[in-house]
Every structure is written in C-alpha cells, then in structure tokens.
Amino acid sequence: MQVLAKSNKFWHALGYAISKLAGLLLLVAAILKAQGLAFSPVNMFGIFVNQTLIVILISYEVLLGLWLLTGYRGQVSQLLAIFTFILFVIISGYQTMIGAATCNCMGTLDIQPITIFVIDIVFLIVLIFTYYYCTDTGRRLYHFLKDTLECVGIVSVFTVTMVSVIFVTNLLFGSLPEMISKLNNEPVSISPDVMMLAPGIAHSLDERTLVFSNNTDRIIKIVGATSDCLCDSQSNLPIIIGPHSMEEMKVVFRRTASIGQFTRTIIIYLDDQGIKAIPYRYTGITKEVLTN
C-alpha cells in the first residue's frame, strides 16, 4: 500500500509539473506567433499559410495554456493537451519528412522541425502516462469517455466563437488579413497573404493572380518587383490603385530545382508618397526533378 501511495504521489506530481510546462510552452509559442504576425508576417508561416488560421491557433494556444496553468479541471485540460500535442506531432513530423528548413511554429525563430518533433513527442508521452496513472484504476475508460466529451464540447464552443469573430471581422474589414494590415498601418494589403503553390516538378511554372487592396484615401501605384529568377510579373506596370480600391497583378512563379519544401520572398515596390517596399512570400513543394 505504501508503494502504491508513493507511486500515485509521483504520477500526480509529474502530471502537475508537465501540465504547467505544457501551458508555459503553449503561451510562449502563442506570443512568438503573435509577435511574428504583428511585425514580420512574411516570415512566420509554415504549414499554416493563412493568417486566419494563425490567429485561431494563437487564440487556442493562449486559452489552453492559461487553463493548464490554473490547474482547474486538471484531467480534462490534460486530455485536451494530449489531443493537441498529437496534432502538433503530426504537423512537425510532416515538416520533418518533407525537409522543411524551419518549423515556423515559434514565430520568426528558426527552429528545425525535427527539434520541435522531439519536444512534442516527449510532452505527448509524459502527458499520456500521467493522465493514465492519475485516473482511478477501475474507471479509466469511463473517465476517458467523459473527459473526451467535455473536450469535444469545449472545442465546439471555441470553434463557434472563432467563426463568429471572423464573420464580424469580414463584415467590418473585408477579411482578417486586411484588418491586420490596417492595424499595422500598411498602405496596401495583398491577397492571398501567402501564395501556396501545389506540389510540382522542378523548374515548372505556375501563374497566379495577386489582389492588391488600397487601405488609404490616396492613389497608390505598383511600380515594380524584384526578381529572384523564380517569379515574373505578367501585368503591365505601373498598376494604379484608387483609394480603397482593388487591382489584380498576374505573376508567374517557378519552382526550385531541389526536391523538398521551398520558401521565397519577393519585394514589391509601391509609389505611395515615395517608393516603399512590401515583402511577399510564396511557398511550395518540388516533388520531382526531371533528368535527361
């Protein structure tokens, strides 16, 4: 009995500690993502290429991180953390397999996906063991099903809330990326916020359309863009954008020569009370190299 009591104390202490550490990790990740979104949005997206998804993930990490730190309903919050880290393991594992240079899950910090994969695996394993051993021996299945239903309910409420917020944001600003651009006092916002190319053969071309939105009360001109031998504008420049108007520009992107995920940044130049530079990022996967 004493051995069993000591074992229970050990697992409860470990569960308490890992929950706090997981909460801190989620909060740090959310803060770094938010910092990247506010100050350097062109550099911060990894597998999530949509700013709306990034904002949802930041909100989720903050709420779950704070919940884990409070210790309220510890078993339920721990189980939700397990489901969350399962998703993180899948994402970081996928990034590792495709050869991504950085996970981009910590904002602008360059961390290799394999490092994040190992961290996620360690947290996941410890969370699973502590949840299992901290549950009543004879009623583990009952508590698991009960806690799972609570997790489903919590995630459902979170999803409905975020959908409502995004709906209101679209009504007021047009889209979440446009709202972020306006809050950052950016004269022009670009849609899509990051161009995601479909997997393709090395050096193959992909023509896409960028939509520029003028967030100001004055006329803005798109006068040029840098070329890194991987993209080329197919529209006649300059492109004149009226106040609070939108214009399109066709761009041809070329995939890289090396197999794996690639990320490139181009600079688009605006004439807006002087020449201004806007970075724009595109990403994709080269899946095959043609040989003679």
pLDDT the model gives residue 182: 67
| Residues in Cβ contact with 238 at an 8 Å cutoff, skipping those fewer than 6 apart | 221, 222, 223, 271
Q: Which of 7-11, 77-81, 179-183 has the lowest mean pLDDT?
A: 179-183
- Supply the CATH number for residue 273's domain: 2.60.40.10
* Residue 244 region by backbone torsions, left for phi larger than 0, else alpha for psi between -120 and 50, else beta: left
Torsion sign over Cα 104, 109, 113, 119: negative
Q: Clarify whether residues 198 and 161 are in a common domain.
A: no
Q: Give SS3 for 107.
A: coil
| Domain end point (choices 180, 200, 234) | 180
Residues 29 and 170 in one domain: yes
- Structure confidence by residue, pLDDT tens digits, 240-269: 899 888 888 888 877 777 777 777 777 888
Tell me which range, 43-52, 59-68, 232-241, 269-278, is most confidently predicted by mean pLDDT: 59-68
Domain match, 152 and 49 both: yes
Q: Assess whether 142 and 257 both reside in one domain.
A: no
More confident residue, 109 or 57: 57
Residue type, 110: D
pLDDT tens digit sequence for 135-185: 777 788 888 999 999 999 999 999 999 889 888 877 777 666 667 666 667
Q: Is the pLDDT reported for residue 38 higher than 50?
A: yes
Higher pLDDT residue, 134 or 120?
120
**C-alpha distances in Å from residue 213, one per residue of 156, 192, 236:** 33, 11, 18
Number of structural domains found in the chain: 2
Cα Rg for the chain, rounded, in angstroms?
23
Q: Which residues contact 68 (CB under 8 A, 6 or more apart)?
A: 19, 20, 22, 23, 26, 77, 78, 81
DSSP 139-168: GHHHHHHHHHHHHHHHHHHHHHHHHHHHHH
Residue 86 pLDDT class (50, 70, 90 cuts):
very high
pLDDT at 209 over 80: yes
Same domain? 128 vs 246:
no
Domain that holds residue 240: 187-288
0.85 surpassed by pTM: no
Domain end among 119, 152, 180:
180
Amino acid at 189: S
Q: What is the mean pLDDT of the chain?
A: 80
271 and 162 within one domain = no
Q: What do you get for the CA distance between the two ends of the chain, in Å? A: 73
- Domain match, 140 and 208 both: no
Q: Could you say which of 180, 202, 219 is where a domain stops?
A: 180
Which residue type, as a one-letter code, is found at position 116? I
Judgement on whether residues 18 and 106 belong to the same structural domain of the protein: yes
HSE of 270, CA atoms in CB hemisphere, 13 A: 21
Same domain, 29 and 153: yes
Same domain, 151 and 13: yes
Shared-domain flag, residues 168 and 284: no
Residues 6+ apart with CB under 8 A from 152: none
- Measured distance CA(17)–CA(23) in Å, rounded: 10
103 and 28 together in one domain = yes
Q: Select the more confidently predicted residue: 69 or 260.
A: 69
Q: Tell me, what's the pLDDT at 183?
A: 67
